Amino acid sequence: MSNTAAPSPPPVNDLWRIPAIAAIVGAIVLWVHLFIPKPAHAETIGYRIEAEACRGAVCRPLTASSRIWGGLYACQGRAANIARFGLPGDPREIRARCTAIAGMPSA
């Protein structure tokens, strides 16, 4: 028989390192998310109607409205009405379509 003793577990006073390391890692992750700048992303913030009056192959743009439509379907419905009814008493064909306005909502 040998006189070797079984290995003893680590001392209890060394277990403080586990939560300390977790707290340091958490602080680093929080700092990165708060202080590292994020790139700006452009999003569609509305829709605008663009219309043009055409006679044959010659088209000329009409004055754009400053109104911004919040929804695509509302804009498309209004553009369809403009194209269908056109200008009263004018023989030109009116073409209208919706274009997206890109920008940053936070700006």
pLDDT in tens, 39-63: 777 888 899 999 999 988 899 998 8
Spatial neighbors of 76 by CB under 8 A, at least 6 apart, are: 98
Residues 100/76, Cβ–Cβ less than 8 Å: no
Residues 53/101, Cβ–Cβ less than 8 Å: no
Look at residue 8 in the predicted model and tell me its pLDDT.
77
Look at residue 1 in the predicted model and tell me its pLDDT.
56
Look at residue 89 in the predicted model and tell me its pLDDT.
79
Alpha-helical (H) ranges within the chain are 17-35, 72-85
Look at residue 106 in the predicted model and tell me its pLDDT.
65
Q: Is 89 left (phi over 0), alpha (psi -120 to 50) or beta?
A: left
Which residues in the chain land under pLDDT 50?
none
